[in-house]
Amino acid sequence: MTKKSIKLAGQSGLAIAASVEGASDGMPVILAHGGGQTHRAWKKVSTLLASHGFHAIALDLRGHGNSEWAKDGAYDIADFAGDLIAVAARLERKPALIGASLGGLAGIKAEGHLAPGSFASLTLVDITPQMEATGVARVVGFMAAHAQAGFASPEEAAQVISEYLPHRPSRKASSGLANYLHKKSDGRFYWHWDPAFIEGVTRRHKQSDGAVENGQSELSLAASRLSLPVHLVRGGSSDLVSPDAVEHFRKLVPHAAYSDIAGATHMVVGDQNDEFGAAIVDFLIGTHTGKVSR
């Protein structure tokens, strides 16, 4: 199926880049990636959703990929949530939302606090209001380590990624990796996102002594207010979302469906794409059409 790139309007008109795939009259599914990623994280998932009749809309979150950078450094969870709300409001049909990590936090904030009723369902990919401090520190540390200095070459970036994801086979620099890097006039390669984003995350991480957000209790409250269909997908080997965090979330959202993807870390989509895809398709079809795909 043909994918096409479009521009959407986020909060206050901020330009949000997106890749869309699938029938235009299919139920829209917004895909919001994790911090430091781009819409390409959903490449296979978008194609799978389109093959089941959905209209997949994979976003580059503000400050990431080809989306506009926030000139005022507005990269709080509420800012990302505001963009999701703005994009959803401009669609002819209420969309389902799938959010991984940062995208999931923004989804909780959007639907549970800022604008309830914006989405038809919410799928959270390895993210809950309660997070393991060591896992958060590892993610933040990886993103911050080369944000300012960049890399001498794509091969150096590939090596850093291999060290961060030791459970995956080592890969050399690829054309796919090039989409996550951009070369500046100094000849070095930098991640394809606004350094102000990770500066803000790092600052809040230090201020909250290991939590991504000072307002975790606010996120828990927002989660407890979720009345739409919810699906929590955890990586079975996640160091960010523990079994206790899952239990805490399911008490907050007792009607939530739950999938545990064996062999996956926090990077669920990249680790076990086929199993993840099957889980979300079954949830979406079962929720929105009353049927399951298998």
Judge: domain 3-132+213-288, CATH 3.40.50.1820.
Answer: yes
pLDDT of residue 177: 78
pLDDT band at 158 (very low <50, low <70, confident <90, very high): confident
Residue 211: predicted pLDDT: 42
pLDDT band, residue 151 (cuts 50/70/90): very high
| E strand or H helix at 32 | strand 28-32
Number of H helices, E strands in the chain: 11, 10
Enumerate the H helices of the chain as residue ranges.
43-51, 77-89, 102-109, 133-145, 154-164, 175-178, 195-207, 216-224, 243-252, 268-271, 273-288
With pLDDT > 70 as the criterion, what percentage of the chain qualifies? 90
Residue 292: predicted pLDDT? 47
Q: Are 59 and 32 in contact (CB under 8 A)?
A: yes
Contact 60, 127 (CB under 8 A): no
Identify the top-confidence range among 108-112, 168-172, 175-179, 214-218.
108-112
| Position 7 pLDDT exceeds 50 | yes
Residue type, 203: R
- Give CA–CA dist 79/184, Å, rounded: 27
pLDDT at residue 212, rounded to an integer: 42
Of the candidates 199, 182, 207, the one whose C-alpha atom is nearest the C-alpha of residue 74 is 199
User: So what's the pLDDT on residue 168?
Assistant: 63
pLDDT of 213 reads 42
What is the model's pLDDT at position 208? 59
Mean pLDDT taken over the chain: 90
Work out the average pLDDT over 274-279: 97
pLDDT at 241 over 50: yes
Query: Could you give the CA distance from residue 151 to residue 89 in angstroms, rounded to a whole number?
Result: 39
Give the separation between CA 102 and CA 105, rounded to whole angstroms. 5
Mean pLDDT score, 24-33: 96
Question: Above 90 in pLDDT, residue 170?
Answer: no
Helix, strand or coil for residue 169? coil
Three-state secondary structure call for residue 40 = helix
More confident residue, 182 or 85: 85
Cα–Cα distance, 67 to 199 (Å, whole number)? 18
Q: Please compute the mean of the pLDDT values over residues 125-145 and round it to a whole number.
A: 90
| Least confident stretch, 74-78, 139-143, 250-254 | 139-143
Is the pLDDT at 276 greater than 50? The verdict is yes
Q: Where are the domains of the chain?
A: 3-132+213-288
- Can you give the pLDDT at residue 210? 43
What are the pLDDT digits (tens) for 35-52?
999 999 999 999 999 999
Tokens of 158: 């590939």
Q: What are phi and psi of 186, to 5 degrees?
A: -80, 0
Q: pLDDT-derived band of residue 204, with 50, 70 and 90 as boundaries?
A: confident
- The predicted-structure confidence for 64-117, as pLDDT tens digits, reads as follows 999 999 999 999 999 999 999 999 999 999 999 999 999 999 999 999 999 999
